[in-house]
Structure 1
Amino acid sequence: MKPFRKLAAASMAAIHPSSRAIVASGARVTALAIAAKLFTIVREVTLAYRYGTGISIDAFNMAFTIASWLPVLLVSTAATGLVPLLVSSVRDQRSHQHMVAELNAVIAMLAIGLCALAAVTAPWASALMTGATTSTTHSLTQAMIVRLAPVAGLGLVAGYLATRLQAQQRYLYTIGEAFPPIGISLGAIAPLAWSDENALITGLLTGTIVQIAFLAFLLLRTDEGIGGFSLDFSSPHWPRIRKAIGTLAIGAGILWITVPVEQAYAARLGAGAVASLNYANRLIGMGTSIAIVIIARALLPTFSRAIADGDVALARQQAWQWAVVCGVLGVVCAALGWVASGPAIRLLLQRGAFGGHDADVVADLVRLGIMQLPFFFASTAIVQWLAASGRYKSVSIIAGMAVIVKITLLQLLIPVLGLYALMLSTVGMYAFSLVAQVSQIRSK
C-alpha cells in the first residue's frame, strides 16, 4: 500500500500545476453540473408523462427555441470572448470595474431589446418554423412566442452573470442551471386550472427569475460585486471586446442557426417529429452540456491565464493533451450510451401520454446522435485554446464551414432517412469541425 501511495504522489507531482488546477476545477464543476442536470432529466420525465409528443409540447419547443435562440447565441459568444478578457483585465482593478459597469449597461439594454424583438417577430418566426400559416400548431406557437418574450431578456442576463462568475472560477453558479427545468416541471404538475401553455410558460419564467436572483447573490458575495452602470463607453477594452465578440458572434450565429433549421425540417416531417427530436436532443444534451460545463469552464480560464502570463507553448500543449483525453472520454460515453439508451428511455419516459412507439423513435435518435460525442468533446477542448489565443476568426470560419457540411448532409439524407438524417448530419458537422480545429492547433 505504501509503494502505491508513493507512486500516486510521484505521478501527481509530475503533472504541471496548471493541469492539476484543471483537474481540480473539473472535479468541482462535474459534481455541480451533474446535480443541476438531474433536474433536466426530471423535466423530461414530467413533460413526457404530461404531454407525450402532442401539439402542445411541439409548440412549446418551437416557441422556446425562437425566444431563446438569440440569447443563447449571445451568451455562448460572450462566455468564449469575455472570459479571457475578464481574467486578464482584473490586474488593473480600476480599469476592470469601469469595463464591468459599461458591460452591465450594455447587457441591460440588450435584454430589453431582445424581449421586444421576440414579441414583434413572433408571427413571422412561427410561420417560418411550422411551415404553415393557418395550422393549430402555428397559432399556438405564435401565441407562446409572445408570452415567452421575457425569457429572451432574462436568459441573456442569466448567461452574463454566469460568465462573470466563470471568469472568477466561482463554479457554484452551475447550480443555477437547475432552476428553469425545476420551474417547468412544477408548472406541468401543479394542481391548478391552467392550460398546457400557461403551465409551461409560467414555470419557465419563474425558474429563470429565480436563477438570476441566485447568480446575483453569488456575485454580491465576491469582492467584485455586481458593479455599477455606465453609458459613457470610454473603457480602453472596447476595441478588444468588439473584435472578440463580433468575430465570434458571426461564427456562433452561423453554427447556432442549425437549431431552428433542424426544428423547421422536423416540423415538415409530421406531427410529433419536433417533440421526438427535442426529447432526443435534450437527452444527448445531458452529455454535451456537461462536457461544455466541465471542459469549457475548467479549461478556458486556465488557458487564458497561461497565455496572459506569456506561456503560450504550455497552453498549446495542454490543449492538445486535453483534446485527446476528452475524445477518448467521448468514445466511452458513446459506447455506454448506445447500450443503455433504449432501456433508459423506456424507464424514464414511457408512461402516461408517451407510448412505446414514441420511446422506440427517441431511442433510435439518441443512438445515432451520441455518435457525435467523441468529436464534440475533443472539439470543445480545442475551441477553448483557440479562444484564449485570440484566434476568433478561425473559430468563426470553421463554424461556417461546418454548417455548410450539415445543411448539405440534410439535403442528401432527409429524402432517404427522414427524421434520423437530422442526427447524422450533426455527427458529420462535428466530425468536420474537429478535423479543421486539429489542423489549427497543430499549426504554429
Structure 2
Amino acid sequence: MPAIRATLPAPLRSLLARGAGSAVVSGFVLVAMLTVVGKIVAFAKDAVVAAKLGTADDLDAFMLVFGFFSFTATVLAGGLPESFVPAFAELRERRGRRRAERLGVQCSVWHFGALLLCGIVLVLAAPLVIGWTGHGFSAGKQALAAQLMRALLPFLLCFGLAQHLGAWLRAGKSFLLAASAPMLVPLGIVTALVIAGDQVDAWTLVAGTVWGAVANVAVMLIAIARKLPRSRSWWRCSLRHWEPGLRTVLCNALPFLIGGVAFGSAAVVDQTMAAWLSAGSVAVLSYSDKLCAIVLAVTAGPAADVLFPHFAELAARRDWSGLRKRLFASAGLIVSAALPMTLFLYLFAPWFVSTLFERGAFGPNDTQRVAEVLRFAAFQIPFYILGTVAARVAVSLQAARLMLVISFSALVLNAALNWLLMRHLGVAGIALSTVIVHGICAAATCAVCLAVIRRKEAA
C-alpha cells in the first residue's frame, strides 16, 4: 500500500491519508450507501412497472410528462438552491447561524413561489406543450399526456421544494435525511401499484407519484423546522425583514437558472426527439438512462451533495489553493472508481436489462432494444461525474456567466448531434450524442474553474 500511495499525485495521497475519519469521505460513504438503497427501491418500482406496462402507450405518455416535470423542478433547483448554498455558507461564516437560517426561510418562500408560477403556466399550456414534445404521439396519446400533466402539478410543487430543502440540509452538512427522503417517491409508486393489483394504468403511477412527493417534502419540512428557532419574534423578523444576502442570492440565481434550463434541456430534447422515432422509443431511452443512473447514483450524486458545502466553505474563506486541490483529489478518486463500473455495464448490458426488466409485458425484443442503447449510454458516466464535481466548484466560485456559455453551447450541440446520429443509429444515436456532449462540457467546466481560481489567486 505505501508503494501504491507513493505513485499517486499529491492531492490524492493527501485525501487518502485522512482515511475514513475525513468528513468528506465519511459523508460520501453515508450518502452513497443511502443512495444505493434508494436506487434499489427505485428499481424495484421500475421492475414492477415494466412487468405491468412494458413499453405501452400509457407508460410512454407518463414517462414524457414525468420527465418534463422532473426537468422543470431540477432546472428551478439549479437557480435559487445553487446560488443559496454559497451565500448560506458565507453568511454563516461571517454573521452567524441565525442570520443564515433566516436567509434559508426567505429563499424557500421565493422558491415555492417560482414553482407555483411555473406549474400554473404549464397546466394552462398543457395541450401546446404536449403537442410539441409529443410530436410523434397519436391524438389519443397526446390527450392522455395533457391530462397527466395537469394531474401531476402537486408532484412538481412538492418535488421542487424538496430539492431546495435538501440543498439547505446539505449546506448544514445534514446528509442523512437529504439522501434518504427522496426514496419516498418510488415507495409511493410501489404502494399504488400493489393496491391497484392487475388494474394498473397511467393514473396509478400518477397517484403513487403524488403521494410519495407529498411525503418527501413533509419529512424535510419537519426536519428543518426542528432546527429553527420557535420564537414568534424570530419568525416575524424572518418573514417581514428581508435578509440583505437575499438580493445577492436572487441576482446570482438568474444566470444559474438560465444555465440550468440550457444544460438540463438535454433530457427533454432527447425524449422529444426519441418520440419522433418508432413506438416505445421514449420508454427504451428512459430504461437505459435508469441503468446508467445506478453508477451515477453512487458516484456523481453523493460526490456533489457532500463536496458542495465544502467547496462553498473553502470559497468563503478564500482558500483558493485548497479548493483547487480538493477538486483534483475528488475528481480523480471518483472517476477512477467509476471507470470499472462503466466497462462492466457495457460488457454485461443485456444481462442487466433482462435481469431487471424482462418479465410480463417486457419481452426479449425490448431487452435487445434497451441493451443496444445502454452500450452507448454507459460511456457518459465518467464525463458526467467529472462535469458534476467541476460544476459544483464553479457554483462555489459564482462563475455563473461562464457556465451559462457552456450550458447553451451544450444544448445546441446536443440537438445537432441528436439529429445527425439518430438518423443512422436510432435511439442509440441519441445516447451517443449525450456521451460526446458530456465529454466536451466536462473539459470546458474544469478549464473554467482553474482559470477563475488562478485569477482570484492573482488578485
- TM-score, normalization: structure 2? 0.89
Q: Does the CA contact (< 8 Å) of 1:102 and 1:233 recur in 2?
A: no
Q: Distance in 2 between matches of 1:33 and 1:65?
A: 20
Q: Does the CA contact (< 8 Å) of 1:55 and 1:272 recur in 2?
A: yes
Q: In the alignment, does 2:58 pair up with 1:56?
A: yes
Deviation at 1:16, TM superposition (A): 6.1
Q: Distance in 2 between matches of 1:83 and 1:34?
A: 25
Equivalent position amino acid for 2:282 in 1: V
Q: Which residues of 2 match residues 9-20 of structure 1 at below 5 A?
A: 15=17, 20=22
Deviation at 1:132, TM superposition (A): 5.5
Deviation at 1:315, TM superposition (A): 0.7
Deviation at 1:440, TM superposition (A): 2.1
Equivalent position amino acid for 1:374 in 2: P
Q: Does the CA contact (< 8 Å) of 2:80 and 2:107 recur in 1?
A: no
Equivalent position amino acid for 1:177 in 2: P
1:17–1:140: structure 2 CA closer, same or farther, 3 Å change rule? same
Q: Distance in 2 between matches of 1:107 and 1:439?
A: 31
- RMSD over aligned CA atoms reads 2.6
Tell me whether 91-100 or 208-217 shows the greater mean CA deviation: 91-100
Q: Which residues of 2 match residues 324-363 of structure 1 at below 5 A?
A: 324-363=332-371
- 1:135 counterpart residue number: 139
Q: Distance in 2 between matches of 1:366 and 1:76?
A: 27
Q: Which one of 404, 418, 424 corresponds to residue 396 of structure 1?
A: 404
- 2:164 counterpart residue number: 160
Q: Does the CA contact (< 8 Å) of 2:80 and 2:111 recur in 1?
A: no
- 1:291 counterpart residue number: 299
Q: Distance in 1 between matches of 2:138 and 2:421?
A: 29
- 1:198 counterpart residue number: 203
Q: In the alignment, does 2:185 pair up with 1:180?
A: yes
- 2:118 counterpart residue number: 114
Deviation at 1:269, TM superposition (A): 0.4
Q: Does the CA contact (< 8 Å) of 1:18 and 1:302 recur in 2?
A: no
Aligned residues: 437
Deviation at 1:125, TM superposition (A): 0.9
Tell me whether 23-32 or 111-120 shows the greater mean CA deviation: 111-120
- 1:148 counterpart residue number: 152
Q: Does the CA contact (< 8 Å) of 2:108 and 2:161 recur in 1?
A: no
- 2:424 counterpart residue number: 416
Q: Does the CA contact (< 8 Å) of 2:102 and 2:243 recur in 1?
A: yes
1:12–1:97: structure 2 CA closer, same or farther, 3 Å change rule? closer
Q: Distance in 2 between matches of 1:49 and 1:169?
A: 39
Q: Which residues of 2 match residues 1-40 of structure 1 at below 5 A?
A: 15=17, 20-40=22-42
Q: Distance in 1 between matches of 2:300 and 2:315?
A: 21
Deviation at 1:254, TM superposition (A): 0.4
Q: Which one of 70, 91, 113 corresponds to residue 68 of structure 1?
A: 70
Deviation at 1:145, TM superposition (A): 0.7
Q: Which runs of 5+ in 1 are unaligned?
A: 2-10
Q: Distance in 1 between matches of 2:319 and 2:21?
A: 13
- SS of 1:337 mapped into structure 2: helix
Tell me whether 419-428 or 341-350 shows the greater mean CA deviation: 341-350
- Superposed CA deviations along residues 293-317 of structure 1, whole A, max 9, x for unmatched, are 2111111111111221221111112
Q: Which one of 218, 222, 225 corresponds to residue 213 of structure 1?
A: 218
Q: Which one of 379, 386, 393 corresponds to residue 371 of structure 1?
A: 379
Q: Does the CA contact (< 8 Å) of 2:137 and 2:275 recur in 1?
A: no
Equivalent position amino acid for 1:58 in 2: D
- Superposed CA deviations along residues 125-174 of structure 1, whole A, max 9, x for unmatched, are 11111115862211111111111122111112111111111111111121
Q: Distance in 1 between matches of 2:164 and 2:198?
A: 35
Q: Which residues of 2 match residues 243-258 of structure 1 at below 5 A?
A: 243-258=251-266
Q: In the alignment, does 2:444 pair up with 1:440?
A: no
Deviation at 1:112, TM superposition (A): 2.7
Q: Does the CA contact (< 8 Å) of 1:330 and 1:375 recur in 2?
A: no
- Superposed CA deviations along residues 347-383 of structure 1, whole A, max 9, x for unmatched, are 1110000000101111111111010111111111111
Q: Does the CA contact (< 8 Å) of 2:136 and 2:277 recur in 1?
A: no
Deviation at 1:57, TM superposition (A): 0.2
Deviation at 1:278, TM superposition (A): 0.8
Deviation at 1:121, TM superposition (A): 1.4
- 2:8 counterpart residue number: none
Equivalent position amino acid for 2:32 in 1: T
Q: Distance in 1 between matches of 2:424 and 2:191?
A: 40
Q: Distance in 1 between matches of 2:202 and 2:155?
A: 14
Q: Which one of 45, 48, 57 corresponds to residue 47 of structure 2?
A: 45
Q: Does the CA contact (< 8 Å) of 2:410 and 2:441 recur in 1?
A: yes
- SS of 1:169 mapped into structure 2: coil
Equivalent position amino acid for 2:192 in 1: G
Q: Which runs of 5+ in 2 are unaligned?
A: 2-12, 455-459
Equivalent position amino acid for 1:291 in 2: T
Q: In the alignment, does 2:92 pair up with 1:87?
A: no
Q: Distance in 2 between matches of 1:193 and 1:348?
A: 20
Equivalent position amino acid for 1:112 in 2: L
Deviation at 1:36, TM superposition (A): 1.3
Tell me whether 109-118 or 279-288 shows the greater mean CA deviation: 109-118
Deviation at 1:243, TM superposition (A): 3.1
- TM-score, normalization: structure 1? 0.91
- 1:7 counterpart residue number: none
Deviation at 1:24, TM superposition (A): 1.6
